[in-house]
A and B are shown apart, each in its own frame.
Chain A
Amino acid sequence: MTTLPAAEADTELATVLAQHGADRHALLQVLIALQDRLGWLPRRTLAALADALALPLAEVEGVAGFYRFLHLQPVGRWRLLFSDNVTDRQAGSRELMALLCERLRVKPGARRDDGRVSVDATSCIGLADQGPSLLVNHRQVVTRLGAGRIERIAELVEADTPLHQWPAEWSRVDDVVQRADVLLGPAPAPGEALRAALARGAEATLAELQASRLRGRGGAGYPTAQKWAACRATAAAGRIVVCNADEGEPGTFKDRTLLRHHAHALFDGMGIAAFVLGAQRGFVYLRGEYRWLLDDLQAVLAERRRLGLLGSAILGQAGFDFDIAIHLGAGAYVCGEESALIESLEGHRGVPRIRPPFPAERGYLGLPTVVNNVETFCAVAHIVRHGGSWWADIGTAQSTGTKIHSVSGDCERPGLYEYPFGTRIGRLLEDCGARDTQAVQVGGPSGSCISAFEFGRKLAFEDVPTAGAFMVFDRSRDLFEVARGFADFFAHESCGFCTPCRVGTELVLRRLGKLAGGAGSRHDIDVLFELDRLLHASTHCGLGATACNPLRDTILKFRPAYEQHLQSLHFAPGFDLDAELSTARALTGRDDAAAHFER
């Protein structure tokens, strides 16, 4: 079924290694390519790969086991992954998944006995504006799911209809730009910004960037020029430019559009970075969920090579040699953290590094490395064309320029909205046609949950910072369930490296499950607060530190949403006597009244 004869697997391995080279740092890319051909990663093949790369098998197994999209056990030939963002759930994704499972007679997360299909949920796949959606075989999306589409999908899977014969309309992804400013406006000609940088010179270009006071768009808001300057000041045999296209924050999809329609601006920005830093190698780390964008992006890179915008002596400038490779992720939110991303680029488990040293000093293979978000590089391209002071005049003093917001949830006009920084949350709600809004989750689960009395607050680093997600919840929504969905996300995405995040995110999820089951007490809310404080103070990286943000915000601002789930405002034990009897019931085959604990 999904297991190929050994000889065939060996041939596939040889082919993949010929493509990627027997390079230890290509391990993740090799594993992805291998799975592509084999459907999953049999142990025997991993052993052969370990031999070829002169690595311990355990290490190869450790890397493969880290990524959610790599399978060490057989999976269905058809792998259908439902996007499991809170907005997807609110649009009925869970019911649709249950329906598909029923039609295909398969349990969620399990492989059907005949090996044909497996159905599961996965973290937000970057289509919150046109969900519910799903990912087929890690390489094609189906958007705007409804019961009708699900029925048809079940038929196509049963008939083994090849993906390219599925209705093209199903995979249509609209990039709806509701409000464009600089970044989403008309795209400049390929290479225009890079030419401007060359004309200015490296020092002057960096000075413009400094003057622009551009801050990183990935969430942390670190001054871009400062990062570049630190990288530039570190003596090294080479420097590396990395674009973080691991757009994993649930509810965010702006990079998807930038990658599809503004790739030249992005690559211009990376080229400018290479020019300023004297870097020769660049990487785009593209999240596995966006694999369907890969071919188009490769085509843009090829076009740029033809245009002399990549390769050696770029734009005729002797000594300016730079090229970009695209590396795929494989389902790990934590790889959006820049040092975890670098670990992943090097073919390791995507565990964040101890910092300092920061990547600008010691990054990819120990070389000084600049890692910037897709939107940041696009902004650089515009800044270099128009000048730093032009950019600095947009937005606020501490948050210059514009910011793209990915709007989803309860509103009439979801899509992308680009505003100068400092725009009121209320303004954005008006523009997107949100009514009767109860709350907005700004910046995704790791951001903040904003309630109605705060809608006058501004989207800016100094007030409500955001990496770009803007999820709207109207008064019909249960914010407890919203927080529970986010807790699910963090528990699912914890890398497992440090104790408080690995165990704490799981404890939070279980505690919320207890509340949802109606067995909660006020004590549970106290424990949740305690876990929030602990994770904030003690985790190895920002994922764990922010994992309880939605929880804390919603408990503080929407406490009734929690209290309605409490069985009593007094202590109630976490121990459920009746549940404890379930094993005995299963063993004795009894389910009569006397086999249940009397409440």
Chain B
Amino acid sequence: MDSPGHRGDTFRLDGEEVPFAPGETVLEAATRAGRHVPHLCWAPGFAPHGSCRVCLVKVGTRTVAACSTRAAPGLEVTLADEALTAQRKSVLQMLFVEGNHFCPSCEKSGHCRLQASAYADGIEGPHFEEFYPDRPLDASHPDLLLDFNRCILCGLCVRASRQIDGKAVFALGGHGIGSHLVVNSTTGRLADSDVHPDDAAVGICPVGVILKKRQGFAVPIGQRRYDLAPISAEARPDEDAP
């Protein structure tokens, strides 16, 4: 673990010192220090979003999202806590029942952060009743497929498209349980948008919504990223994402 620096400020995560730079969030600093705090709607280099609520931690007696909490000197942050783990499991299970997640048939299985997070927390079933929403695919694009059944509304594609690709291929639409991803084109179909298969927005999807066509199962099941090591082993997530 990083040595508690005399040169910079630190906070404590489960009792261990974590150094941070001014302005960093708890999640950013912890990730940089090689500590795994489960999360889905954030990736290094992005501003906090705060929507998935998977990165719940305790600061004192308050439960907060690590992604949207500024690191401060001497902050006592708890992640390893039975109640927190139970709550995080419930949040993950909510994401599962809200969409249609059939891992065995999903191309992203083994590369999926939602699936890997669920495994890491020992989730064995949905717990809540499934909603089985009706969400048609968008297979209009010659090289890409959108399977909205798996969308967790993390907004990473929306932000990556703007921030990295300099486009605006995606946006969030609707409200409440009807919230959904919107594609920016006159028809609303991906084929008519200015997306490119090499866009960061395509690669950043943590689940199996944005998929490249004709590349199915290039890496065999069993040899995929989270088949080989649990998500918690990631020192720096997303750097070598598939």
Contacts and interface: CB of A to CB of B under 8 A. Distances in A.
Contacts of A354: 48, 50, 68
Nearest to A540: B50
B185 A57 contact: yes
B214 interface: no
Nearest to B99: A503
B179 interface: yes
Interface stretch (B4-12, B13-21, B165-173, B215-223): B165-173
Interface string A59-91: 101100111100000000000000000000000
Contacts of B152: 499
A267 to B, nearest CB: 32
A495 B51 CA distance: 11
A539 B54 CA distance: 11
B179 A496 contact: yes
Contact of B176 (A43, A56, A61, A492): A492
B83 to A, nearest CB: 8
Interface in B152-187: 152-153, 168-179, 182-186
Interface string A487-509: 00001111111111011111100
B183 A58 contact: yes
B97 A503 contact: yes
Interface stretch (B87-95, B139-147, B205-213, B227-235): B87-95
Name which of A47, A537, A538 has the most chain B CB atoms within 10 A of its CB.
Answer: A538
- A68, A354, A491, A495 — most chain B CB neighbours (10 Å): A354
A32 to B, nearest CB: 16
Chain A interface size, as a band, is 35 or more
A507 B94 contact: yes
A349 interface: yes
Nearest to A506: B177
Interface size class of B (residues with CB under 8 A): 35 or more
A574 B125 CA distance: 15
A510 B129 CA distance: 9
Contacts of A58: 168-171, 173, 182-185
B80 to A, nearest CB: 16
Contact of A538 (B87, B168, B174): B87
Given A56-B171, A504-B94, A538 B56 contact: yes
A498 B51 contact: yes
Contacts of B68: 354
Contacts of B185: 57-58
Interface in B79-114: 87, 90-91, 94-95, 97-98
A502 B152 CA distance: 11
Nearest to A574: B129
Contacts of B91: 499-500, 534, 538
Given A499-B95, A500-B91, A537-B56, A332 B177 contact: no
A491 B131 CA distance: 14
A430 interface: no
Chain A contact surface mostly: helix
Nearest to B98: A503
B119 interface: no
Given A534-B87, A534-B90, A540 B175 contact: no
A574 B54 CA distance: 26
A538 B84 CA distance: 10
Contact of A65 (B94, B128, B169, B175): B175
B10 to A, nearest CB: 21
A57 B184 CA distance: 6
B98 A56 contact: no
B177 A496 contact: yes
Given A56-B184, A503-B94, A537-B87, A66 B52 contact: no
B53 interface: yes
B69 to A, nearest CB: 9
A598 interface: no
Nearest to A497: B51
Contact of A62 (B128, B131, B182): B182
A57 B189 CA distance: 12
Residue of A61, A502, A574 with most partner-chain B CB within 10 A: A502
A113 interface: no
A57 B56 contact: no
Interface string B21-59: 000000000000000000000000000101111101000
B191 to A, nearest CB: 15
A540 B63 CA distance: 11
A463 interface: no
Nearest to A354: B68
B195 to A, nearest CB: 12
Contacts of A491: 176-177
Nearest to A356: B70
A169 interface: no
Contacts of A57: 184-186
Contacts of B90: 500, 530, 534
Interface string A472-497: 00000000000000000001111111
Given A57-B184, A332-B175, A530-B90, A506 B131 contact: yes
A527 B170 CA distance: 36
A507 B170 contact: no
A353 to B, nearest CB: 9
Interface of B: 48, 50-54, 56, 63, 65, 68, 70, 87, 90-91, 94-95, 97-98, 128-129, 131, 152-153, 168-179, 182-186, 188
20 contacts: A56-B168, A58-B170, A58-B183, A58-B185, A61-B182, A65-B173, A332-B175, A354-B48, A496-B176, A498-B53, A499-B53, A502-B179, A503-B98, A506-B98, A507-B97, A507-B128, A534-B90, A537-B56, A540-B50, A574-B129
Given A57-B185, A496-B153, 12 more contacts: A43-B186, A56-B184, A58-B185, A59-B171, A68-B175, A349-B175, A498-B51, A499-B152, A500-B94, A503-B98, A537-B87, A538-B63
7 tightest A-B CB contacts, nearest first: A496-B179, A58-B184, A58-B171, A56-B168, A503-B94, A62-B171, A537-B63
Interface of A: 43, 47, 56-59, 61-62, 65-68, 332, 349, 354, 356, 491-500, 502-507, 510, 527, 530, 533-534, 537-540, 574
